[in-house]
Structure 1
Amino acid sequence: MVGKKSGRAQLREEGLARTDNNLDLTTWPQVNMINQKNYYTEFLKRDEQYLAVRYPLEEERNRMVREARDKDRALAQGVATEDAEEAEEGGGSYSRDDPSRLIVLHVGSQNLRIGLGSDALPKTVPMVIARKWKESESEEDDGEPRPKRMKIEGVVPADALPEKWFGEDFADQYMAMSSELRTRMRSNKRRVLPNSKDLVTNFNRRTSAEIISEHNDINRIEWTEIPSDPRKAPDYFTGNEALRIPEKSNPRYKLFWPIQNGTFNERDYTGRNQLYHDISKILEEAFRTQLGITRLKDLVNYKCVFIIPDLYERIYVTMMLDILIRDLGVGKVSLQQESLSATFGAGYGVACVVDIGAQKTSICCVDEGLCIEESRVNLKMGGADATETFIKMMLYGHFPYSDMNLKRRYDFLLAEELKQKFCSMEEETVTVKTWDFHLRASGQDTRKYTFKTYDETMLSIMGLFKPSIFDHSRKLEGRRKVILRSVDLYDGSPNDPISPAQVAVIETAAGKSTSVNGTQEGIPAVASTPQRPGQLNLLSRLNDNENTPRSSVAGSPAPEGTSTPNPDRDTPMGDADQPLIFRDPVLEKTKIADERDKTLPAIPLDAAILESVTQGARGDERKLRDFLGGIMLVGGGSKTPGLGAFLETRLRELRPYYGKEILVGPPPREFDPQVVVWKGASVFGRLSPAGNDSWVSKAEYDILGSRLLNNKCMFAW
């Protein structure tokens, strides 16, 4: 009888036993379940986990390792450390702190200021490019001049009286401003002759030009030479060469100004690519001619501080950054705001910076190295408007050179020269004076004109305080046609920065509200980010004097059986009499932004300064007095003699209680107001890179693009 076998032996004999070959059933990694009562993660909780922070640290570490290896190699080869350092300094290598490898760019509507960190002053280049075109800018629109002459009852402007060239509105405003000036001068005990206007008009009417032959003109102009063969002519010219191209050149060239009123020129451009390439070519030629950088591949060894407006447009910043890094190949770029750069250059800690440029005036309060967001104001007017108004007033008074046309290049340069020489805001200069100037045009003999002026030299600059005298007709033409507005990545709403001071300026310019002590009547305080319109109805309901209390403005829960959420609406769910009004927050924000774009922000300069200062102080009396006592005028438009004293007087008239505190002055240490912003950016760029984490490198930008600015900008992006 066979003994009983165990179950294991039976499985082994019958081949049913399980054998393990140590192979996993799957190649997928098996992750054990976490203890949900006690778990922890460090994801995005350390600065080193951000590329914007980690990359500069790694770059600094690699630099230290590389320097240590070079030093060890030099010692191993028997070269002393001092000799190695001297050889490194005298050779072709460069230091990361070398100011000669720092480029500072300040792009304006009319001029580009560019220079190296080792330069004492920047070079100034006109921000213009001339391209081959079918006709020049002076031949467009059937040769219509600028300023535009109006046709009165079918009479050609050349046959009509100069007093009727610019319409009755301009004539009435001009006469009103002249009358106010005479009244002001009489109150200040200044002598005013009653027939001054007639003296000027009669003299200018009978004055003729004096012809000077070209060989007798010692200050003749060197014009840009165009090859006789049109096929060999360059495709474009930039800077001063573009402004010196003869009007009747063969082939024709047309001037393009890619920056207008502080942002992109969408009126004269039809495509974004053309605008992009024109800016790139202007910067490339400036690098080559002004800085001596002939090869673009050398720019990878340079750093660049790019100055942006205080109240910028995001698409402007990202597009300029893309041009510098990707198109031109600059190694590192840092962004700096204009007003903050001005305080760096002047050495101020607290100031209200008023930057009067050619086509834009920006105002911002700066407190301890930070631009106060609520105080930023951007006015679309400047020195170019004063130049055009000055020429209109001169033509109104029978200017002997009645054919002046600012679309012609030599007339444009002449108008700028006349404004800089003769315009002033000092009342003692408002007398009948005799001046002369020389008109130089290509292919013509020099003409010398003698003329007289009276109050035109002051009233044209007075337009900054009465902007209705300026011509704003074409400033909004083509807005948002070429380059669309920047929108949020997630919900598509406009995300360009806005400030309460700028909103107040726009509302005042539109005539919708008046600004009193920095706050608008009937409009609640505005945050830096626009609020939803649905939130503005709360104040109107609280202000209604109703005997019957209304139901809550808070959203009611959705009715049962529906899965549709309850959006914002004017009427509560309980009001059965009125229909529901559904709101789209993104659409409402877009409508508000569109309405703002239709209004040109141009109000008197003194009112805009008080609005900015009041919003920047935010109710703090000490800060208000500090800002009023530190108003600094910078920019080319601020160089008009007597402008600071006149502005100070106007501010004291509007705020008599702060008469002793209000102080308006130029930058200290006899700085040129035109270059103080550039100088401040140069000082900022020469700070130690180890303590400055605002540099955007090419490698980082290639990975993250403009998203990198959230971690790199020293201001709220």
Structure 2
Amino acid sequence: MDHVAAAFGSGVPSACVVDVGDQKTSVSCVEDGMSIRETRIHLDYGGSDVTQVFYWLLRRSAFPYKQCSPASRLDALLLHKLKETYCHVDLDTCGPQEHTFRVSKPHHPSLQYTLQLGDECIIAPLSYFNASLFQLTGPKQSWLYDPYRGDSDDPLDTGYLRETGRKRETADTASDSVDQSQLDDEVDALEPSQSQDSKGQIKIDKLLSLDQAILHSVDQCGSDELKRKFYSCVIVVGGGAKFTGFATWLRSRLSLQIPYQFRPGEWPAKPYEFRPEHMEVVTEPREQDPEVVGWKGACIMSCMESAGELWIRPAEWRTHGVRTLREKAAFYW
């Protein structure tokens, strides 16, 4: 639902929405006010993990504030401020630079420190594109969403129909015998290879980087036209990726990996002549703070005339139960 609100707040009907928060990152494709369930991805890293990677690099670069402890709230806020102030993804800004910062604690005199910052300011944000760095902050996982999650109140849900439906025979009708080993192979092929929890989430072994998660999310769309549409507009919201040059870097990474037939815009005759400006990666929709885009979109949705149709009356709930929520909710149930 937060991705739908972010799309409304950005003023676009269709987009691939990337929400980079403090503790997690989520990706999904929004089409006409609905988040496509098959495209939803949850990643167990966010802005706080970038802060920890940045601190890990600072400690190996003679960080002058030796008493710094991320477990302390004041020190954690200090590290967060240092990350937002000095980290960037601008390759034009390179080489060591001298910076100063001040540490203030209650009942203690303020202390000013001087530090030299170089590649640490770029390496920490780039951990979004090299997810192996996040292993420094603990074990991480990538989660997909099962589009065929069962509904206990609906005996004829999509999952039931899929599991009980018979596979249409494509072999020649003249053949009446079937090899038992071939049947076993077909059954094994239908069983999912990932582990699934009770919430319909599927855990995959590989920790996806941000660009890989976007590519995987768009690839789950049903038609080529939808894929081309979502590749052409990627919206990044949340406070975990507010770095100078982040949009340019993400657009460059995606433009090198998008299949040629799905690339948006007017295409030249040769694949290597693709120009990244055909793809739009927005990190500040309508010049808004990306942290509040979702909230503003939710305000817009609540003021729409159709919002009155989302109310569920007590009589409707007693009569139809959870099926009413599935029919009236502004998201897939």
For each residue in 1:108-149, what CA deviation from the matched residue of structure 2 results, as whole angstroms up to 9, or x when unmatched?
A: xxxxxxxxxxxxxxxxxxxxxxxxxxxxxxxxxxxxxxxxxx
- Displacement of 1:688 after TM fit? 2.4
Secondary structure of the corresponding residue to residue 28 of structure 2: strand
Are 2:151 and 1:550 aligned? Answer: no
Instruction: Report Cα offsets for 1:196-249 as digits up to 9, x if no partner.
Output: xxxxxxxxxxxxxxxxxxxxxxxxxxxxxxxxxxxxxxxxxxxxxxxxxxxxxx
Measured after TM superposition, the shift of residue 635 of structure 1 is: 1.0
Code of the residue aligned with 1:695 in structure 2: it is W
Cα gap change, 1:598 to 1:612, in 2 (>3 Å): closer
Per-residue displacement from partner, 1:449-478 (whole Å, max 9, x unpaired)? 1100110111011111111111353567xx
Mapped contact 1:361–1:379 kept (Cα < 8 A) = yes
Is this contact kept in 2: 1:363–1:609, CA < 8 A?
yes
Structure 1: runs of 5+ lacking an equivalent: 1-336, 477-485, 496-526, 543-547, 555-568, 573-580
Residues 654/420 of structure 1: CA separation in 2 closer, same or farther (3 Å cut):
same
1:615 correspondence with 2:220: yes
Which of 31, 53, 70 is residue 406 of structure 1 equivalent to? 70
- Determine if the alignment matches structure 1 residue 375 to structure 2 residue 39: yes
Letter in 2 for 1:686: C
Residue 600 of structure 1 and its aligned partner are, at CA, apart by 6.5
Structure 2: 5+ residue stretches without partners: 142-148, 171-175, 264-273
1:465 and 1:643 map into 2 onto residues whose CA distance is 11
- Aligned match of 2:282 in 647, 662, 665? 665
Q: Are the structure 2 counterparts of residues 470 and 698 from structure 1 closer, same or farther at C-alpha, using a change threshold of 3 Å?
A: farther
Residues 256-335 of structure 1: matches in 2 within 5 Å? none
CA contact (8 A) 1:377 1:608 kept: yes
- Equivalent-residue separation in structure 2 for 1:379 and 1:530 (angstroms): 30
Say if 2:15 and 2:235, in contact at 8 Å, map to a contact too: yes
Instruction: Report the CA distance between 1:398 and its aligned residue.
Output: 1.7
Partner of 1:631: 234
What letter corresponds to residue 650 of structure 1 in structure 2?
R
Look up the match of 1:166: none
Q: Which residue in 2 is equivalent to 1:422?
A: 86
Residues 379 and 475 from structure 1, CA distance in 2 versus in 1: closer, same or farther, beyond 3 angstroms? Answer: closer
Which of 229, 233, 248 lines up with 1:645 in the alignment? 248
The amino acid of 1:602's aligned partner reads L
Relative to structure 1, the CA distance from residue 374 to residue 571 in structure 2 (aligned partners, 3 Å threshold; closer, same or farther) is closer
1:569-601 residue CA offsets vs partner (Å, 9 max, x unmatched): 9499xxxxxxxx9x9x9xx88x94149766577
Letter in 2 for 1:593: Q
Paired residue for 1:604, among 198, 201, 209? 209
| 1:677 matched to 2:305 | no
What is the TM-score with the length of structure 1 in the denominator? Answer: 0.37
SS in 1 for 2:124: helix
Q: Is the 8 A contact 1:606 1:647 kept in 2?
A: yes
Give CA-to-partner distance per residue, 1:651-706, whole Å, 9 cap, x none: 122237333432212344211111111101100001126x6311346787799876
Contact 1:380 1:600 (8 Å CA) reproduced: no
Q: How does 1:18-33 map to 2 (within 5 A)?
A: none
Distance in 2 between the 1:623 and 1:462 partners? 29
Larger gyration radius, structure 1 or structure 2: 1
Query: Which residue identity is paired with 1:676?
Result: V
One-letter code aligned to 1:462: L
Distance 1:389 1:696, change over 3 A: farther
Which one of 295, 309, 327 corresponds to residue 711 of structure 1? 327
CA distance in 2, matches of 1:598, 1:630: 27
Instruction: Please name the residue that 1:390 is paired with.
Output: 54
Pick closer, same or farther for the CA change 1:531–1:473 going to 2, 3 Å.
farther
SS of the residue aligned with 1:393? Answer: helix
Rounded to whole Å, the distance in 1 between the matches of 2:250 and 2:37 is: 24
The DSSP-based 3-state class of the residue aligned with 2:34 is: coil
- 2:11 alignment partner in structure 1: 347
Deviations 1:494-535 (A, max 9, x none): x9xxxxxxxxxxxxxxxxxxxxxxxxxxxxxxx999965x99
Distance change >3 Å, CA 593–CA 668, structure 1 → 2: closer
Q: What's the counterpart of residue 124 of structure 2?
A: 460
Counterpart contact for 2:89–2:125, Cα < 8 Å? yes
> 2:195·2:204 contact (CA, 8 Å) conserved in 1?
no
C-alpha separation in 2, matches of 1:339 and 1:389:
27
1:535–1:397 distance in 2 versus 1, CA, 3 Å: farther
Q: How does 1:61-460 map to 2 (within 5 A)?
A: 337-460=1-124
- What is the letter of the counterpart of residue 355 of structure 1? D
Q: Check conservation: 2:140, 2:207, Cα contact below 8 A.
A: no
Q: Is the 8 A contact 1:378 1:601 kept in 2?
A: no
Q: Which secondary structure does the structure 2 equivalent of 1:626 belong to?
A: helix
Question: 1:549/1:444 Cα in 2 relative to 1: closer, same or farther (>3 Å)?
Answer: farther
Task: Quote the Cα distance in structure 2 between the aligned partners of 1:638 and 1:408.
Answer: 23
8 Å CA contact retained: 1:361, 1:380? yes
Aligned match of 1:473? 138
- Matched position secondary structure for 1:639: coil
Same amino acid, percent of matched pairs: 32
Alpha-carbon distance between aligned partners in 2 of 1:702 and 1:491, rounded to the nearest angstrom: 15
SS at 1:348 equivalent? coil
C-alpha distance in structure 2 between counterparts of 1:529 and 1:464, whole Å: 38
* 8 Å contact from structure 2 (residues 34, 332) kept in 1: no
Tell me which amino acid in the other structure corresponds to 2:296. Answer: K
* Equivalent-residue separation in structure 1 for 2:324 and 2:25 (angstroms): 29
Q: Is the 2:35–2:332 contact (alpha carbons within 8 Å) kept by the matching residues of 1? A: no
| CA-based RMSD | 4.1
Aligned length: 303
Q: Is the 8 A contact 2:89 2:246 kept in 1?
A: yes
Counterparts of 1:581-600 in structure 2, within 5 Å, are 592-594=195-197, 599=204
